[in-house]
Amino acid sequence: MRQDNPSYRLVNLKDRNDVLDRITRAEQELNQLMDGQVALIAYVKDEEKSTGANNNG
C-alpha cells in the first residue's frame, strides 16, 4: 500500500483481540518464511474520503 493514499487510515485495534491474534499469527509465519522480523500494519479504507474522491469526475 502506498503511504500517500489518503483514502486509508490506521486501525485502532485496542479492543479487537481477535484481529490482533490473527495479525500476530501471520507475523510469526512470515518471520519464519522471511528469516527475519516482520511487522504488519492494519489500515481500513475510509469510505467517506474515497467516495468523495470518486465523485470529482
pLDDT digits (tens, 9 = 90+) for 46-57: 876 545 544 444
Q: What pLDDT does residue 49 have?
A: 55
CA 55 to chain centre: 25
Q: How many domains does the chain have?
A: 1
The answer as to whether 38 is a domain residue is yes
Asked if residue 1 is part of any domain, the answer here is: no
Largest CA distance in the chain: 46
Q: Residue 15 sits in which domain range?
A: 11-46
Residue 52 lies in a domain: no
Is residue 2, in this structure, part of any structural domain at all?
no
Query: Quick one: pLDDT at residue 4?
Result: 59
In a domain, 15, yes or no: yes
Cβ distance 8 to 51 under 8 Å? no
* Residue 54 counted as domain residue: no
pLDDT in tens, 24-45: 999 999 999 999 999 999 999 9
Could you tell me the pLDDT band of residue 6, with boundaries at 50, 70 and 90? low
Between 3 and 12, name the one with better pLDDT.
Answer: 12
